[in-house]
Amino acid sequence: MKKFLIVTLLTVLPILSFAKAPDCVSWPMNMSEVWLKNAGIVDIKNLDESKTKITLLASEKKAKGLYTQIYHFIFYDEKGNSYEIITNSDASYEECSMSDVDVYLISKLISDIYKQEKK
């Protein structure tokens, strides 16, 4: 019984010690859309935000309540094309835009329908 209690405590305590990261998806998402537009890849007005897939890949607590957050976004436009982005930025509970957002385009898939229209 004593071993069970120790194993349970060792399993549960580390989980309880992790602080919840700030919910700051809007800052890197908006900066990603602006980046896509400024790079001439796709206009923001052509993106279908209802289809956007968002995953928080990592959130690391740094000094004084600052978190480095890594997000993975998949944006879709009205023609079915997709744009896969990874972002890196710093956030806190008080302010999501504690740093610039580093944006990395890792995939751009053009739908077959769009390719056929271009021919």
19 has a pLDDT exceeding 90: no
Query: Which amino acid does the sequence have at 90?
Result: D
Classify residue 46: in a domain, yes or no: yes
Domain count, the chain: 1
> What range defines the domain where residue 65 resides?
21-108
Average pLDDT over residues 13-35: 80
Classify residue 2: in a domain, yes or no: no
E runs forming strands in 1-119:
53-61, 67-76, 82-91, 102-109
CA 110 to chain centre: 21
Tell me if the pTM is above 0.85.
no
Classify residue 115: in a domain, yes or no: no
Classify residue 1: in a domain, yes or no: no
The model's pLDDT over 50-104, given as tens digits with 9 standing for 90+, comes to 999 999 999 999 988 999 999 999 999 999 999 999 999 999 999 999 999 999 9
